[in-house]
Every structure is written in structure tokens, then in C-alpha cells.
Amino acid sequence: MKEQKLTTENYKGTRDFYPEDMRLRNYLFSVMKDVAKSYGYEEYDGPMVESLDLYRAKTGEEIVGKQIYNFVDKGDREVAIRPEMTPTVARMVAKKLRDLPRPIRWFSIPNLWRYEQPGHGRLREHWQLNVDMFGVTSQRAELEILSLACDILFAFGAKRNSFKVTISHRSLLDEFLLDGLKVSPNQAHEVSKILDKKNKITEEEYVALVSKTIPNDPTAVSKINLFLAATTETLDQIPGIKEETRNTIQTLFEDLKTIGLDDIVYFDPSVVRGFDYYTGFIFEIFDTSPQNKRSLYGGGRYDNLIGLFSNEELSGIGFGLGDVTLQNFLTAHDLLPDFANDSTVYIPLLDESSFAENQNFARELRKEKIAVEVSLLSQKMGKQLSYAEKKGYRWILLRGEDEIKAGTVTLKDMATRNQWTSSFSEALQKIKEELSK
Ligand code: HAM
């Protein structure tokens, strides 16, 4: 009987990162990191497995109930693979609360796991830039976080009209539902969940769900629709909204003008965010091109997470930016550069007797921080050239029969096809000059 072979398929909803994919991923990460660092944020990381309780507290029903990868470990502990980073960062901050200079500005790019139905912009494993600030309650923190978020997209070359930031405030929907529409806390919770998925369901489904949740008020749908259409100017016409909430929102939008973001940010009462920890402003950033409907970023302010671990409260604010949606965004707007191989020089082995000398050349090049691959097999010239070409090498350093006799090398520029025969040190000089251009 024939032996059954193992599948080469990767697990559903995950990606294999081949070298060319890693080049792209490293590029995405390096731009994100550079922008975060340019605002004074420091990188941190945490474990991929945490106690399940960490997420039970405030991560929210959808993730904890349906999407979390959890298991009981060999020591009978209930653990989970992190579906998000916010509980971990809150735990880490709380652990060293007294020692950390405030405000705390941190970022990380963890891989996260959610048992989702994979689709465009949705996978089971994704990487997510998390940028969070702790210890600033003033709205200047909102301004910094939003401007940092936009600057990341600008750093990738995005145009101002290629994305939009939608903002709401946690209190807004609560006040409208509880004090304006006068529904019970349970009904309010259900309506929030319906609004959170409103973009993913049809209008009929939406109406049916709201009517089922609030059966005793036939005008509920139209009242909710009026609320969803509110602008910062018409907020005073929405029942239930407190003056303080209205002022907070209006001030933020005034301030966003002063930092020149007012053409990108939109007040949108339909932003819900399915996490239980948000307490203040909540926001999402969307691609304006219609093929990418999933949010690029999600974030907001959370006042009560640190308090889960400590007697002291410390307000946090931050966002997550996913690599899958970011890549879709950059592709849609034609912003992905061509990624060349990082290696610069290839030294083929044309004659067995050159092996040791080729290694010496390579050592000299590496001392100058020039990446070089040396062939370990002597093969025909054509075969080695086509290998170097496929791998995208910029230069080939040749030492054939003639060069061995003359004590020289031939340097071939694969981009221009020019070549020069000279001493090794002159060739090295040439490469250095070209690289510094
Ligand atoms: P989130 O909205 O769940 O927020 O995720 C943030 C972003 O991560 C989304 O906008 C999306 O780009 C990406 N993302 C989320 N799930 C997936 C998935 N299954 N596949 C691909 N991309 C995905 C949070 O996780 C919050 N903890 C963010 C935060 C940080 N809030 C404050 N600080």
C-alpha cells in the first residue's frame, strides 16, 4: 500500500511567509515602527499564551465566546492564545505601575489568533501594530494617537482622500439608548451588537433584528436611524445625550481642525467597537476604495483596564492596525514598492581551485557590511548567472580562468550589464561607491 503523504497546506486562515513575503512583511513593520518611534513610543512584547481570565474580563462576547483559541494546559490551567494585545499591555503596565515613567508610550506588533471565517481582510492569524499611551486624560492624547495613526498611512505614501477616520464616543450610544430611547441595559447591549455588525448585514436583517430586540416601540428603527445620521452640530436634537458628552465631542472636532486633520476625520455615531473596555472616544479607520470594507484600524480610550490588576486606575488610549487590511489598502492604492533581494553580491564558483579565495573575498565584503552569497558548488557559468538573476542579485563577482591567471576579478552589474575587470580591492571600492549613491 502506498504511504499517505502529509499535506503541504498551511492551517486554514494562516499564511506561510516565503522569503518574498517576508520582504513585504518586514517593510510593513519597519515603516510602522519608524513612525511609532518618531513619536517617542518604545517597543515591547508579551507572551502569546495568557490566562483565559485575562480576556474573560473585558475583551467582549464575540471574541471570548466564539473566536478565542483556548485550551487547558498540562497543569490544568485555562489558557488562551492571544486574540488581541490590549489586555496583555494593560497587565504589563499594571505589573510595573510604580516604576514606569509616565506618560507611558508603547508599541508592539504581535501576531494574534481569532477563530474567524477567513475572507478578504480577515484571517485566523494576523499581525497587528498596537500603539498605546497610558497616563494622559486630556484630549491631547486623542490628538496624538489619531495623528500618529494617520502618519503611518502617509508614510506608506497614502493620499489624504484614500482613507477616512470615523469617530464616536462610548457614552453617546449608551446615553441615547438608555436615556433617549429608554430601553433596558440588556436591550441596549443587544442593539449595540446589531449596530456593530450593521455593515455586514442587509437593511432588512437590520430592521428585523432591531424590531425583535425592541418589540414594544415601533418607532425604534427610525429613531435609531436619526441618531446614526447625527452630526456634531445636530447632536443637541438627539434625545438622551448629555451636554458634557456633546461638548467633549465638539471640542475634539474643533481641536482636530487645529492639527489639520479635519478633512480626514468624520463624526460617526455608528462606530460601536465590540470590546467592553472602551470608556471614551472610539474610532476606526477605513479605506475609501470600495473593495476593502474591513476596517484598517480600530481603537479608543479605556479607563478601567489597569484597575483590573491594581487599586490604582490609569487611563489608556490606543489602536490596533492589522497587517492584512493594511496590505489590501496598499495594494488597492498601488503603494507597494518592488522588493529587491537584500543580498547584494553573488560569487559563483567557476573553478574548484577558487573556493578558498572566494571565501576570502566574501569575508572582506562582509567586513564592509555588504551582504554576499558564495557558491559552494562549481557549476557552469550560465547556470550560476541565471540563479543570481532569479534571486535578484545586483552584482556578480567572477573569478574564472583568465582572472586566476591575472590575479584579478570581474565585477558584473546585473542592472546595467556593464562589467569591469580589476583587482579585488578596486572592485570592492566600486561596489561601495555604487551603494552609497
Ligand atoms: P480590533 O478592531 O479587533 O481592535 O482590531 C484592530 C484591527 O486589526 C482591525 O481594524 C483589523 O485591521 C485588524 N484585525 C482584527 N481582526 C483581524 C482578523 N481576524 N484578520 C485580519 N485583521 C484583523 C483590537 O484588537 C484592539 N485591541 C485594538 C486596540 C489597541 N485598542 C486599544 N489599543
C-beta of 128 in contact with ligand 1 (< 6 A): yes
**pLDDT band at residue 115, thresholds of 50, 70 and 90?**
very high
pTM above 0.85, yes or no: yes
For ligand 1, the distance from its centroid to the CA atom of residue 156, given in whole angstroms, is 19
Q: Decide if 315 contacts 136 (C-beta within 8 A).
A: yes
C-beta of 256 in contact with ligand 1 (< 6 A): no
**pLDDT band at residue 308, thresholds of 50, 70 and 90?**
very high
C-beta of 122 in contact with ligand 1 (< 6 A): yes
Per-residue burial over 201-218, b if 16 or more Cβ lie within 10 Å, else e, is: eeeeebbebbeebbeebe
Which position has the higher pLDDT, 351 or 51?
Answer: 51
Per-residue burial over 229-259, b if 16 or more Cβ lie within 10 Å, else e, is: ebeeeebeebebbeeebbebbeebbebbeee
The DSSP secondary-structure symbol of 137 reads -
Residue whose Cα lies nearest atom 20 of ligand 1: it is: 122
C-beta of 131 in contact with ligand 1 (< 6 A): no
Superfamily of domain 19-332 in CATH is Bira Bifunctional Protein; Domain 2 (3.30.930.10)
C-beta of 269 in contact with ligand 1 (< 6 A): no
Number of Cβ within 10 Å of residue 2's Cβ equals 4
Residue whose Cα lies nearest atom 1 of ligand 1: it is: 298
For ligand 1, the distance from its centroid to the CA atom of residue 273, given in whole angstroms, is 10
Ligand 1 pocket test target in 84, 132, 168, 282 with most atoms within 8 Å of CB:
84
**pLDDT band at residue 197, thresholds of 50, 70 and 90?**
confident
Q: What is the pLDDT of residue 437?
A: 83
C-beta of 84 in contact with ligand 1 (< 6 A): yes
C-beta of 348 in contact with ligand 1 (< 6 A): no
For ligand 1, the distance from its centroid to the CA atom of residue 116, given in whole angstroms, is 12
CATH code assigned to 345-435: 3.40.50.800
**pLDDT band at residue 435, thresholds of 50, 70 and 90?**
confident
Q: Which residues contact 7 (CB under 8 A, 6 or more apart)?
A: none
Ligand 1 pocket test target in 11, 128, 302 with most atoms within 8 Å of CB:
128
**pLDDT band at residue 342, thresholds of 50, 70 and 90?**
low
Q: Give the model confidence (pLDDT) of 379-402 as tens digits.
A: 999 999 999 999 989 999 999 899
Closest ligand 1 atom, residue 298 Cα: 2
Ligand 1 pocket test target in 11, 41, 92, 126 with most atoms within 8 Å of CB:
126
pLDDT above 90 covers a percentage of the chain that reads 89
Q: Give the model confidence (pLDDT) of 228-274 as tens digits.
A: 999 999 999 999 999 999 999 999 999 999 999 999 999 999 999 98
C-beta of 125 in contact with ligand 1 (< 6 A): no
Q: What is the DSSP string of 5-38?
A: PPP-PPPTT-----HHHHHHHHHHHHHHHHHHHH
C-beta of 123 in contact with ligand 1 (< 6 A): yes
Number of Cβ within 10 Å of residue 222's Cβ equals 11
For ligand 1, the distance from its centroid to the CA atom of residue 296, given in whole angstroms, is 8
Q: Which residues contact 165 (CB under 8 A, 6 or more apart)?
A: 146, 149, 150, 261, 264, 265, 266, 283, 284, 285
C-beta of 110 in contact with ligand 1 (< 6 A): no
92 backbone dihedrals φ, ψ, rounded to 5°: -65, -40
Q: What is the pLDDT of residue 221?
A: 94
**How far apart are the C-alpha atoms of 220 and 72, rounded to whole Å?**
44
**pLDDT band at residue 60, thresholds of 50, 70 and 90?**
confident
Of the candidates 377, 174, 146, the residue with the CA atom closest to the CA atom of residue 262: 146
C-beta of 320 in contact with ligand 1 (< 6 A): yes
**pLDDT band at residue 18, thresholds of 50, 70 and 90?**
very high
Residue whose Cα lies nearest atom 2 of ligand 1: it is: 298
Q: What is the mean pLDDT of the chain?
A: 95
Q: Give the model confidence (pLDDT) of 358-371 as tens digits.
A: 999 999 999 999 99
Q: Is a pLDDT exceeding 70 seen at residue 411?
A: yes
Closest ligand 1 atom, residue 325 Cα: 12
For ligand 1, the distance from its centroid to the CA atom of residue 112, given in whole angstroms, is 9
Q: What is the pLDDT of residue 127?
A: 98
Q: Give the model confidence (pLDDT) of 129-166 as tens digits.
A: 999 999 999 999 999 999 999 999 999 999 999 999 99
Residue whose Cα lies nearest atom 8 of ligand 1: it is: 322
Q: What is the pLDDT of residue 249?
A: 96
Q: Is a pLDDT exceeding 90 seen at residue 338?
A: no
Q: Where are the domains of the chain?
A: 19-332, 345-435
Q: What is the pLDDT of residue 21?
A: 95
280: cell is 471614551
**CB-based burial of residue 430 (10 Å sphere; 0-12 exposed, 13-18 middle, 19+ buried)?**
middle
